[in-house]
Chain A
Amino acid sequence: MVKFSVEALDIWFGKTQALKHVTMSVREKEILSVIGPSNSGKTSFLRMLNRFNEENPEFRMSGVVSMDGRDVRKIDRETLRRKIGMVFALPLPLPLSIFDNVAYGPRMHGERDNRRVAQIVERSLKQAFIWDEVKDRLHESAFKLSGGQQQRLCIGRTLAVGPEVILFDEPCSGLDPISTAKVEETMMILKKDYTIILVTNNVKQAARVGDRTAFFLSGELVELDATDKMFTAPSDKRTDDYIRGKFG
């Protein structure tokens, strides 16, 4: 089942073209790894899916991005972003307590019943594998957590609004190896219920985690294939060079 379909997508920020004629699709409940050097367009691509690029006043596009068969531009933005969660590169807790961080999304969407909110918070933090570490200090500031814990809190926060898709934008770049492993483990478990797209600078991480992998270079989608095949017998020489570390 196709979750996202991208057709002939070109995007520009001002005069710079960030994506060139990208056509591809994302399957439901798969983990798609997106790799490529910096400025290859991978983050711009990710941000197309939840219409985040529109926040930039110089953004222009042509082509279509669809979710579940519908053009995302025709879906109400807030509804779309409720279905598509995003975890950022640096852990970004809101300046609120741990509880309020996770409760923020549901509350903004109208959830008023405090008991239900508490249930959602607990469930989300458990899904993010951080409940045990924070259950006794839910009302402390989120800034008191370590980097790895904050990132898992952010994952929990994203899960609390009940998305169908989770976008990860280099989520482990600020984390130590142990926290990184925990986040990767979480992603593998979440795959059962969510479609996941992971943008990463770490080629090995992409190989560990992704079912399929997409390689972007200078705004072009060079290759998209099953991870095993891509990493053992890539079709394009550029992919091969990048994976081997000949540039990057």
Chain B
Amino acid sequence: MPMLRKFKEFVIEKLILLCGIASVIFVALIFVFLLKEGLSVFKFVRIGEFLAGRSWYPISEPAQLGILPLILGSLWVTFGAAVISVPIGLGCAVYIAEIAPGRTKEVLKGGIELLAAIPSVVLGFIGMVTLVPLVKNVFHLSTGLTGLSGSIILAFMAMPTIVSIAEDALYAVPKSYKEGAFALGATHWQTIWRVLLPAASSGIVAAVMLGIGRVIGETMAVMMITGNSAVIPRGLLEPLRTLTATIAAEMGEAVVGSEHYFALFAIGIILFIISFAINVTADLFLHKHK
């Protein structure tokens, strides 16, 4: 009987190992399949033209596959979202970690978790019906579907990530740093500003990077709010279109195996690489102290 049990356990343990490496397999699969479909686009267009071309007209004859407008769209909207979400998110993290009293802290943390749980399509919907008309009126534009509206909603989506990771980073600072500063007569704020924030800096950088990573990867809210105009944006008060929204909006129309299809996968490759880079770097920052 022990022989049978040992055999069963051997099989189970091999299965466990297989599942352990499953994640690596899936990442590799994703990369391989993106490459498989995406690299084909470079049969139709040179990589330089693809990345820097200013015209994105994938269904015209001949197709124009320059994604610069999309890259700039993503960059603008991400920049706008970062400008809003980083100071506010970090400020909130400091408040919750250091200043908020007990019960309030739990309520606030609950509020942040609540925000994190809201599906992006719901936030996009709300942004569409409330924020977009507001922006239109405040800035006297012909349409509220602009990069600015997108930035604001995306900022909301990034903030829970920034807040919770920055909060963890602040908690991880050893209490002795704080106590030392107080013992020297510093005020609470001085301690936060001069001791805690610098000590938590690598975690905070990671928080910001992951928040920005979340923004770059966001699709639905952007699609519903930024206007989907694939031309080079001249500012945030115009409609624009991001890399992510392009894929989502156009894949439905692209014929499998067409240049358009391959081009959208090529955009996917770019997004994958960007998110890979951000996540790996942020992870390095998070583990710098450990």
Contacts and interface: CB of A to CB of B under 8 A. Distances in A.
Q: Do A and B share a direct contact in the complex (Cβ within 8 angstroms)?
A: yes
Interface of A: 78, 110
A159 B98 CA distance: 53
Nearest to B5: A110
A110 B8 CA distance: 14
4 contacts: A78-B2, A110-B1, A110-B2, A110-B5
Contacts of A78: 2
Nearest to A76: B2
Contacts of B5: 110
A46 B1 CA distance: 30
A110 B5 CA distance: 10
Interface residues of B, number: 3
A110 B1 CA distance: 9
A110 B2 CA distance: 9
Identify whether the interface residues of B are mostly helix, strand, loop, or mixed: helix
A180 to B, nearest CB: 37
Interface in B166-225: none
Contacts of B1: 110
A82 to B, nearest CB: 11
Nearest to A79: B2
B246 to A, nearest CB: 48
Contacts of A110: 1-2, 5
Contacts of B2: 78, 110
A108 to B, nearest CB: 10
4 A-B pairs closest in CB distance: A110-B1, A110-B2, A110-B5, A78-B2
A104 to B, nearest CB: 16
Interface string B250-280: 0000000000000000000000000000000
A70 B153 CA distance: 71
A110 B6 CA distance: 12
A196 B287 CA distance: 46
A110 B3 CA distance: 12
A228 to B, nearest CB: 44
A240 B1 CA distance: 53
B2 to A, nearest CB: 8
Interface string B1-33: 110010000000000000000000000000000
Nearest to B1: A110
A78 B1 CA distance: 14
A51 B1 CA distance: 23
A78 B2 CA distance: 10
A144 B1 CA distance: 36
A166 B92 CA distance: 57
B10 to A, nearest CB: 13
B9 to A, nearest CB: 10
B8 to A, nearest CB: 13
A132 B1 CA distance: 36
Nearest to A110: B1
Nearest to A109: B2
A115 B5 CA distance: 23
B118 to A, nearest CB: 37
A78 B6 CA distance: 11
A78 B5 CA distance: 12
A11 to B, nearest CB: 27
A79 to B, nearest CB: 8
A113 to B, nearest CB: 14
B1 to A, nearest CB: 6
